[in-house]
Structure 1
């Protein structure tokens, strides 16, 4: 029986919960698997509960990158083009890779308002057949304007840039720390800013 949902956020939370259950059935063969699961689940739950995060793949991927990195889990923050075969569209997008595999909670709620299954270790967490292909462009010229600008910004510069849109400078950092409660605990924002000022997105192409 298909549940009835009163709002999109209610549906997103249901999808997030179901996908987290499926995530725990996977064996990553990674010595820090539990840490990866915690970071991914926290990021996915944040997206499901935060209406403003729709289309926020750059924030969601940065959040996952930081929650993983703060646990000492090696990962790459990636930007590139994704092709959706079902919708016959191609769009600029950010995600995280661990050992070359895609970890992409942000795809769950894209800028066009559509809902997609989140990707974990290269697999849809709804266990459906894959309908999206990552790294489909040849060079950075395929990226949209916003994505091109991100290539030249450190993670810190990107997160601090929110102040230019009328928000407090710490706004996105505070959101990341809120999502990461129980994972990274108390930490100093000055330390985070200094550390992630040397972290940049990696352009992935064919």
Structure 2
């Protein structure tokens, strides 16, 4: 188990398509506007909104599907770099009768989840979640974020047993590595970091297992 590598969905995406400031027609721009309204005027929430919007644009602009683990790590690190305390969480998401292993980020116990809006299987799609709120309706999300009720799948088990350093080292990208999208997001929110700085700061971070 410890020697196993895993491949993220992004390995089929060309990096020239990964433009976090581009907006595809399919992008629901009202999600970002509504998230801004949810954020209100508190500085931490406004910074969280900037990160949410940037990661959401990256996922939809590049059609990066099934990227819950990677997008959660990117969100977690970017929030930390912007001074927003948050928790990187591994557990289970529930959409109606469907449940699946999932990663997300929590700020003050409230989920932030962009990847749920662009899953591998389009049948199991929900509106992105910002601070626990559905960004289409501005009501509490109907998605349930809970502890896993069964055995973790292979990717989630590897994540649960390791830290971000291990995850980053095993991240497979067609043209680049984990820091390619990571640094794109940081640049978009105005933060200058390099790979060595981020490795030093975050390699020992681990997912919090939802209980």
- Provide TM-score, normalisation by structure 2: 0.80
Cα offsets for 1:33-61 (capped at 9, x unmatched)? 2211111110111011112x200100111
- In the alignment, the residues of structure 2 paired with residue 166 and residue 45 of structure 1 have an alpha-carbon distance, to the nearest angstrom, of 19
C-alpha RMSD of matched pairs (Å): 2.0
Match of 2:95 in 1: 84
Q: Partner of 1:180: helix, strand, or coil?
A: helix
Match of 1:93 in 2: 102
Q: Do structure 1's residue 194 and structure 2's residue 203 form an aligned pair?
A: no
- In the alignment, the residues of structure 2 paired with residue 185 and residue 202 of structure 1 have an alpha-carbon distance, to the nearest angstrom, of 25
Partner of residue 133 from structure 1, selected from 117, 138, 144: 144
Distance 1:50 1:150, change over 3 A: same
Instruction: Say which structure, 1 or 2, has more relative contact order (CA 8 Å, 6+ apart).
Output: 2
- Provide TM-score, normalisation by structure 1: 0.82
Cα offsets for 1:115-155 (capped at 9, x unmatched)? 320011111101167432111535xx532121111012222
Gaps of 5+ in 1: 1-8
Match of 1:48 in 2: 60
- In the alignment, the residues of structure 2 paired with residue 30 and residue 91 of structure 1 have an alpha-carbon distance, to the nearest angstrom, of 33
- In the alignment, the residues of structure 1 paired with residue 62 and residue 169 of structure 2 have an alpha-carbon distance, to the nearest angstrom, of 20
Q: How does 1:1-206 map to 2 (within 5 A)?
A: 10-11=25-26, 13=27, 15=28, 17-27=29-39, 30-51=42-63, 53-85=64-96, 88-114=97-123, 115-127=125-137, 130-138=141-149, 141-162=150-171, 165=172, 167=174, 171-205=177-211
- In the alignment, the residues of structure 1 paired with residue 160 and residue 120 of structure 2 have an alpha-carbon distance, to the nearest angstrom, of 20
Contact 2:88 2:208 in 1 (8 A): yes
The aligned length equals: 186
- In the alignment, the residues of structure 1 paired with residue 39 and residue 182 of structure 2 have an alpha-carbon distance, to the nearest angstrom, of 26
- In the alignment, the residues of structure 1 paired with residue 89 and residue 190 of structure 2 have an alpha-carbon distance, to the nearest angstrom, of 22
- In the alignment, the residues of structure 2 paired with residue 151 and residue 24 of structure 1 have an alpha-carbon distance, to the nearest angstrom, of 32
Gaps of 5+ in 2: 1-23
Runs of 4+ with deviation above 3 angstroms: 27-31, 165-168
